[in-house]
Amino acid sequence: MLGLFEKKKSPEEQLEKCLEKKDWDGLSRACYDLGTAAMEKGELNKAVLWLSRADTVYSASDAVYKKASKKRLFHDEIVSDCSDRIGALEDEDLLYNKIPAQVEEKAEELGDSQIRIWGLLSIARLAKLGERLGKLPGCEVLGRLGWASDIMLKSFQQPITQDEYSQLMNICNELYELGDSEAFYGGGQIEVPGSAPFQVFDLNGMMGVHLELNGFLDSHLRLLSALSQGQEPPEAELSMVGCTLLPDYYVRTGREPLEEVPQIKAELDRIWSDYDFVCSDITWEQVSVRVWQYQELDILA
């Protein structure tokens, strides 16, 4: 009988409890509850954060998805409503939506190689963060982003070896698999000097940094394959640009408005500076120097 009078846990408390118990069905619902509450309050960035996390958790496992999409006693199904809410939020005037739209508009003036270099520079800026996240169990692939950006840079100038191609392919596949793993959404985090810890799950924003990395690498691998066979190369992948903003981290830790966060302002400056750079008469030596400088950058500093 005592259990009937226990105080109901808040979504935040429920979230921590589910992470502790590895209750992924409960975690997806806790994220959904936080997202719907934020949406009802008009806190739309938080709504994007939590609803997208709910979607990622219940989509990672068939078993969890079946539970989340099924009506149960005291619980409504959340899959359809979560999807509808995320769709509605995509029409809002949010940084999550504005930057990809602006990047796409700018890219209309660029050639294929310019777009690929723009994306490569973005990957290079994630190398230092990836190196730290890659030390967490199950996240080792993130520690290889620096190597991947080096090999892609090399491949623009000369043929790479079959072993290098195979390793790039492995990284591409492992990035895709990462999003469905408990290592991604299970609470792993690293310390950030002078700020809140950065969670692996903070990569979930902007359609998923890991998925955009996967898409960019896949496009580059298909480019190399097409060139080696004398075939028409695929269209350059654009959506990597902008993922480096990492808005989920700043929303989750209460750093809003996003446009006023110093790290986001600095990253926006780099994104548009890179655009001007690829539009200029650049050499591969200049591109290489920029990549190597970015690989040493602490994007959270």
Copy the structure tokens of residue 253: 């830790």
| Pairwise CA distance, residues 280 & 287, whole Å | 11
* DSSP state for residue 191 in the 8-state scheme: E
- Asked if residues 151 and 217 have their Cβ atoms less than 8 Å apart, the reply is no
Q: What angle do CA 222, 122, 83 make, to 5 degrees?
A: 80
Query: Is the Cα dihedral 235, 236, 242, 243 positive or negative?
Result: positive
Give the global pTM: 0.93
Say which range, 62-71, 97-106, 140-149, has the weakest mean pLDDT: 62-71
Q: What angle do CA 52, 198, 176 make, to 5 degrees?
A: 50
pLDDT beyond 70 at 153: yes
Model confidence pLDDT, tens digit, residues 129-151: 999 999 999 999 999 999 999 99
For position 12, what pLDDT does the model report? 87
Q: What number is the average pLDDT over the span 240-265?
A: 96
Counting residues of the chain whose pLDDT is more than 70, the rounded percentage is: 95
Copy the structure tokens of residue 30: 């806790």
- The CA–CA distances, whole Å, from 104 to 31, 113, 241, 267 equal 30, 15, 9, 17
Q: Mean pLDDT over all residues of the chain?
A: 93
pLDDT beyond 90 at 11: no
65-79, 196-210, 223-237: which is most confident: 196-210
